[in-house]
A = this chain, B = another copy of it.
Amino acid sequence: MIEVISGIEHARRRMAEIRRQGLAIGLVPTMGALHDGHLSLIERARSGNDRVVTSIFVNPTQYDDPDDLEQYPRTLAADTGRAEAAGADLIFHPEFEDIYRDDYRFRITESEFSRELEGAHRKDHFDGVLTVVLKLFNIVQADRAYFGEKDWQQLLLVRDMAAAFFHRTEIVACPTVREPDGLAMSSRNVHLNQEERRLAPEFHRTLSSGAPTDDMERQLADLGFVVDYVEQRGDRILGAVRLGRVRLIDNVQT
């Protein structure tokens, strides 16, 4: 039976108990609304650790758009069942007031890569992400934490942050899980209407086309996407687009 813990001190005690038994802990940090992408992270954690913790916390400090925050789906009961089926032993579901007992006076900032791409379009987004991730890392003290490649920039920033602060938790990157038509799984996809959902896979198809990024931007705009950016970084092409009120991000290896 899966264990659900909300209290931070309770979670810390429980984690210390597990560590004292010499068991390896895998952490999958999520904001809930679990889909097959999340479940693939939990399965991966299951195969590499003795105990798997899934955290569910919708983190307000990483949202600059109150609408986006408000419409983020909250489905704890369903999430718990899905996480358990995928192999999680424990759900950590803390309260905002406990995680931010400092009123967000203290934060982690990054001065370069976090200002580009997503960071250029979502003010202070990565401050919020990095801050909550470090808090969760310190509470859980996992041996490994699992992040999806769909949020490529987040993955790199979290990995670099863990290294910069000499954190004990190793960051494991996991491939993006896609719908059969290529659309990257995202909790936001449920907000696409029928017409938008039909169009959405063109985003990934275009990023994979091998065209220059400027051409990709034009093609996506012609198709009806509002393009935030399409940019190459190293061997990745990263993009963010909007369809109505839904913002989609994706990336592909070139």
Q: Knowing A135-B166, A166-B138, say if A105 contacts B101 (CB, 8 Å).
A: no
Interchain CA distance A112-B106 in the complex, whole Å? 9
From A146-154, A157-165, A225-233, A239-247, give the one contacting chain B. Answer: A157-165
Please give me the residue from chain B that is nearest to A166 by CB atom.
B138
User: Are B164's CB and A105's CB within 8 A?
Assistant: yes
User: Are B106's CB and A109's CB within 8 A?
Assistant: yes
Q: Which residues of A contact B (CB under 8 A)?
A: 8, 12, 101-102, 104-113, 130, 134-135, 138-139, 141, 160-161, 163-168
Residue from B107, B113, B168 within 8 A of A108 (CB atoms) = B107
Total identical chains: 2
User: Are B111's CB and A163's CB within 8 A?
Assistant: no
Interchain CA distance A110-B101 in the complex, whole Å? 14
Query: Please, which residues of chain B bring their CB within 8 A of the CB of A134?
Result: 165
Query: Please, which residues of chain B bring their CB within 8 A of the CB of A101?
Result: 163-164
User: Are B110's CB and A108's CB within 8 A?
Assistant: no
Interchain CA distance A165-B111 in the complex, whole Å? 20
User: Are B8's CB and A166's CB within 8 A?
Assistant: yes
